[in-house]
Chains A and B, each alone.
Chain A
Amino acid sequence: MLLTATLSPTVSVAADAKATHAEPPKIDVSHVNFYYGAHRVLHDISLQIQPNQVTAFIGPSGCGKSTFLRSLNRMNDIVPGARVEGRVLVDGADIYAPSVDVVALRRKVGMVFQKSNPFPKSIFENVAYGLRINRMTGSKDELRGRVEASLKSAALWDEVKDRLHASALALSGGQQQRLCIARALAIEPEILLMDEPASALDPIATQRIEELIYQLKSRYTIVIVTHNMQQAARVSDTTAFFWLGKLVEYGRTDRIFTAPTEKLTEDYVTGRFG
């Protein structure tokens, strides 16, 4: 699984992202290949993600964004036949090492899914779930406090504070998505992976989520997958463009959108694609 870093096709673009930051990378991916059975969907991906930054993954449908995102918290472990090659370091530690505690890893690297997936429980219990299973709160008051704080962080508190014990399934799509964000925030991860968190939302709900990402940035390292170019441009500091399972270009968002070095990137971000 370990590959020594030799030649990297993405070396130039990775350097571009690194140059502006002195801190060590939060996530350091080198030479990752990914297979679903015999079907290879990621080809030699290498990139580094800096702490307290928002990184956007863009690219056409089916290019492997979700797959790559899910390999950062080993969510693909539960997919039968899935296989990863290469190395993924989080805070310098290899997350695919045999000794790694996957439960602890997923607590540290939280995730919000492409489709909101609340539990069929109350709003309160949804947010409390992670706190309960990880035994993170001592008293009931502490639990309540944390749930409230998480709902506030996810900008949902005002809308639900009077009906915390109503079913989460009765919330609107946008509210459910923010509930899933609150649920992920409750266990205080250090990294938040968001797979198209605004894909099913109206412009107002989308704007709220974008504001939220902006506020969360100071406390978390955020990776967001999006199909919306404007959104990537608005919320992210760095952008990675994927195409057919390859990382085509990776760098500061303003540069990717104004002066991409690759023709493919330029075509994609300007909408002249395929």
Chain B
Amino acid sequence: MRKDLGFRLGTGVFGLFLILIVAAIGFELTRQSMLSIQKFGLAFWTNATWDPVAGEFGALPFIWGTLYSSVLALLIATPIAIGIAVFITELCPQVLRQPLVFLTELLAAIPSIVYGLWGIFVLVPIVRALQVALPDALRGLPLFSGPPLGVGMLSATLILAVMVVPFTSSVAREVLKSVPVAQREAAYALGATRFEAISAALFYARTGIVGAVMLGFGRALGETMAVTMVIGNNPQVSASLFAPQYTMAAVLANEFTEAADELYLHALIEIGLVLFIITLIVNSLSRVLIWSMSRSAKAVPSTAVQPVAAEA
């Protein structure tokens, strides 16, 4: 009994410690950006102008650039990552399995500056060539407008996707591996094809898969170096894939040493605060999503469900 209490106290302290760290970071970021917060208020979030010379600071281009690049990267990376995870756990021959796992792990371990260099020397020229080759009819669309620079949203998105894939796929792989064999057997025994049995396993693992995807999202949100090197670093809100844009992490890395006056510095730190808050929101939302998914799989509504009414 006494031991148990000690154990609970001990783990409780660690838990509390974590909460304290998060609170302390939030507090410190707020304190250090007080000037900017007082001057711009909530308009900081929606103002699209970032003009250090004129002393006008708005975070919208960076928020936009961060979310846009991360969401696009996620759209590209998720199917690939899940495909790799399925291939490694379900389809590939035993001898290939370990080498492939090793390779994905290796990809995750490459420093992001190396990805950035690869982006500048390989990816950017390809993207530029792609844009030049684009038919005129498409070039008129807002999605593809702008001069062929190579650096810009698409390059950043692609590099983010490449960086996110190993993370998402290794978590997805672990999740898939943990699906009981009995689930696949149940599907096979009912006449499932291999594809259908794999789908059943993915469905069983869906909360974990969502977790894997959100982990990738978190990684994309905070990725700094590689993105800074290829996104073009131009604070503007644009839907164009080819327009040079900016992210929160990139502006912090680029301009922190240049911030001459106090307000500039405080505005930059407030960008850090915004990134912190958005990351917290994204993580909480994914928690809620996972929680509601696993809850709907278990709960028995007490109010009788309409018999055989709605099915997919």
**Chain B residues within 8 Å of A202, by CB:** none
B5 interfacial by beta-carbon distance below 8 Å? no
Q: Distance (Å) between the CB of B221 and the closest chain A CB?
A: 30
B307 interfacial by beta-carbon distance below 8 Å? yes
- B193-213 to A contact mask, C-beta < 8 Å, 1/0: 100100010011000000000
Q: Distance (Å) between the CB of B187 and the closest chain A CB?
A: 8
B299 interfacial by beta-carbon distance below 8 Å? yes
Q: Check B308–A184 contact: CB distance below 8 A.
A: no
Q: Check A134–B191 contact: CB distance below 8 A.
A: yes
Q: Check B188–A78 contact: CB distance below 8 A.
A: yes
A73 interfacial by beta-carbon distance below 8 Å? yes
Q: Check A119–B191 contact: CB distance below 8 A.
A: no
- A114-143 to B contact mask, C-beta < 8 Å, 1/0: 010111110011001110011000001001
- A169-184 to B contact mask, C-beta < 8 Å, 1/0: 1100000000010011
CB-CB nearest in chain A for B206: A120
Most chain-A Cβ atoms within 10 A of its Cβ — which of B188, B296, B298?
Answer: B188
Give A22 to B312 CA distance when docked, in angstroms. 47
Q: Check B94–A106 contact: CB distance below 8 A.
A: no
A113-B186, A140-B311, A162-B307 given as contacts; is B297 within 8 A of A107 (CB)?
no
Q: Check B192–A167 contact: CB distance below 8 A.
A: no
Q: Which among B23-31, B39-47, B53-61, B177-185 touches the partner chain? A: B177-185
A120-B203, A147-B308 given as contacts; is B300 within 8 A of A163 (CB)?
yes
Picked from A103, A104, A119, A164, the residue with its CB within 8 Å of the CB of B186 is: A119
Q: Check B308–A124 contact: CB distance below 8 A.
A: yes
Q: Check A133–B196 contact: CB distance below 8 A.
A: yes
Q: Check A78–B186 contact: CB distance below 8 A.
A: no
A147-B308, A184-B189 given as contacts; is B183 within 8 A of A119 (CB)?
yes
Picked from B180, B184, B188, B305, the residue with its CB within 8 Å of the CB of A106 is: B188
Give A240 to B192 CA distance when docked, in angstroms. 30
A-B contact count (CB 8 A): 102
Q: Distance (Å) between the CB of B79 and the closest chain A CB?
A: 22
Tell me the count of chain A residues lying within 8 A, CB to CB, of chain B: 42
B137 interfacial by beta-carbon distance below 8 Å? no
**Chain B residues within 8 Å of A80, by CB:** 94
A119-B183, A169-B297, A170-B300 given as contacts; is B189 within 8 A of A164 (CB)?
no
**Chain B residues within 8 Å of A187, by CB:** 190-191
B304 interfacial by beta-carbon distance below 8 Å? yes
B15 interfacial by beta-carbon distance below 8 Å? no
Give A183 to B308 CA distance when docked, in angstroms. 16
A15 interfacial by beta-carbon distance below 8 Å? no
Can you list 28 residue pairs at the A/B interface with Cβ under 8 Å? A75-B185, A80-B94, A103-B192, A103-B193, A104-B191, A110-B190, A111-B189, A113-B189, A117-B180, A117-B182, A117-B186, A120-B203, A120-B297, A121-B203, A121-B297, A133-B190, A133-B192, A144-B308, A147-B308, A164-B305, A164-B307, A164-B308, A166-B300, A166-B301, A167-B300, A180-B186, A184-B190, A187-B191
Nearest 3 CB-CB pairs, A to B? A130-B190, A117-B182, A107-B191
- List residues of chain A with CB under 8 Å of any chain B CB: 73, 75, 78, 80, 103-104, 106-107, 110-111, 113, 115, 117-121, 124-125, 128-130, 133-134, 140, 143-144, 147-148, 161-167, 169-170, 180, 183-184, 187
